[in-house]
Amino acid sequence: MAKPKKNANNEGTIYQRKDGRWEGSAYVLTTDGTYKRRSVYGKTWDEAHEKLTKLKADSLNGMPVATSKMTVSEYLGYWLLNVARGKVRRTTYVNYESLVRNYVTPEFGRKKLVRLTARDIRAFLVKTAATCQCCAQGKDKGRPEHKRRCCALGRCCNKFPSDRTVRFLLVLLRAALQHAVREDELPRNVARNVELGMGTKRSIEPLTVREGRQLLAAARDNRLWAAYELAVRIGLRRGELLGLRWVDVDLHEGVLTVRQALQRVGGELLIVAPKTQRSARRVALPQECVTALRAQRAQQIADRKAAGNNWKGTGHGLVFTTKNGTPIEPRNLNRSFEVLCVRSDVRRVRFHDLRHTCASLLHEQGADARMIMEVLGHSSIRVTMDIYTFVRLDSQRSAFDRVGDALRDDGTGPDDDGGTAGDPVAV
């Protein structure tokens, strides 16, 4: 074994190990405020020296070196259970747990937390965005043999993660590593040095006025007529609709209050708090919504009478229930909407696009952004302007026509200058 190469005092030592690598070590400042001996490794003496020099420089500049021996998987498990669980909504926690289990742990779960770099995270996000998750997670192979349809049969379905999923992964890692910094497990949050491109914005497809009229006309004989009226006219979210209670509806005054939502979380149907603080709101009810809600109440009373002892009301007093009184499964509302689109001869869009429809119709009828924000319960006016005020081509043409009328030269306008505007003049 080669002899250690002597360094000056306080510079540490560098020597070659039995496995051929070079190890450099020095006493450096750690996150608990004490000085401890830490090691770095390189394939050559120069590489080990470069790493050791950086380690010493960080220590001299007051940047402590982490001493945690936990792996990324171990730390994220601790963070999920002891930190995130008490801070975020249940739905967000379930999403975090799924992302850690399906994406992060398989990639670098065994890596030491202190060895995780911004380069690791950036490469992971790029790789994830370009990887079919059905193949990576073996989803098709997990299905019964007679139901396998793609990856297990050698036909990749190209099920790539959405831009939102990739961004959510970065949000998760930033939050988790920032807590590690606060608890002195890490000297800095390397995830904060990772930036993502703009990505592809999901197209917004609100219904036109004609399509909205057709949809609501076809919905009049549907059990969920009132739900469609509320979605189109005041833009309630799916969960807000299904979690709506009669005590939160004042049909006499024509006012609805959003206080909760119904969501499937981790395999359970749960009543949860509204999405954001501003999502809890009071909204005036159009007369058409009041009429539809009165019909819904009459239908529910009839359902309860017909069910008799089989009525399974949950005690929540929900406005929208099945024929036997149980809450409506969110996916079943989606299926009902798909059928309604076919019946009404309306192009197929997502149920959430009814919310976009409400915002865009309000915008086109002259409602200002502040009012739209309050109706929809957005967290900020920026969300309203960036996402929900979709401007249709026919509205653009109408605006251009008005500009054309203003610019048309008929010789009678007060600003008519005889055609001299734009001529060069001496100065």
Kindly report, residue by residue over 91-104, the tens digit of the pLDDT.
Answer: 889 999 999 999 99
Q: What is the pLDDT of residues 364-414, one digit of tens each?
A: 888 888 888 999 998 888 877 766 555 566 666 777 777 877 787 665 555
pLDDT, averaged across the chain: 85
Query: Would you place residue 422 in the very low, low, confident or very high pLDDT band (cuts 50, 70, 90)?
Result: very low
Which residues have CB under 8 Å from 345's CB, separation 6+? 214
In 10-131, at which residue ranges do the beta strands (DSSP E only) sit?
13-16, 22-29, 35-42
Q: What is the pLDDT of residue 236?
A: 96
Give 265's DSSP letter. Answer: E
Which token pair is 257?
């209050």
**196 neighbors 161 (Cβ within 8 angstroms):** no
Euclidean distance between CA atoms 169 and 220, whole angstroms: 42
- Determine the 3-state secondary structure of 260 from DSSP: coil
pLDDT at 383: 76
Q: Residue 11 pLDDT > 80, yes or no?
A: no
Query: What one-character DSSP code corresponds to residue 206?
Result: P
In angstroms, rounded to a whole number, what is the distance separating the alpha carbons of residues 202 and 414? 46
Residue 21 CA, distance from chain mean position: 45
SS3 assignment, position 224: coil
DSSP-assigned letter for residue 278: G
Looking at residue 112, the DSSP 8-state letter turns out to be: B
Assigned CATH for 209-388? 1.10.443.10
Angle between helices 72-79 and 163-182 (to 10 degrees): 90
| Greatest mean pLDDT among 249-253, 370-374, 416-420 | 249-253
Q: Kindly give the residue spans of alpha helices, DSSP state H, lying in 183-286.
A: 209-218, 225-234, 238-242
Reported as a single tens digit per residue, the pLDDT across 107-136 is 999 999 989 999 999 999 999 998 888 777
For 75-80, the CB contacts below 8 A with 24+ separation are 75/113, 75/176, 75/180, 75/185, 76/100, 76/104, 76/105, 76/109, 76/176, 79/176, 79/179, 79/180
pLDDT for residue 314: 72
Confidence class of residue 187 from pLDDT cuts 50, 70 and 90? confident
Q: What is the pLDDT of residue 240?
A: 96
Give the CATH H-level superfamily of domain 72-193.
Tyrosine recombinase, N-terminal domain (1.10.150.130)
What does the pLDDT read at residue 426? 47
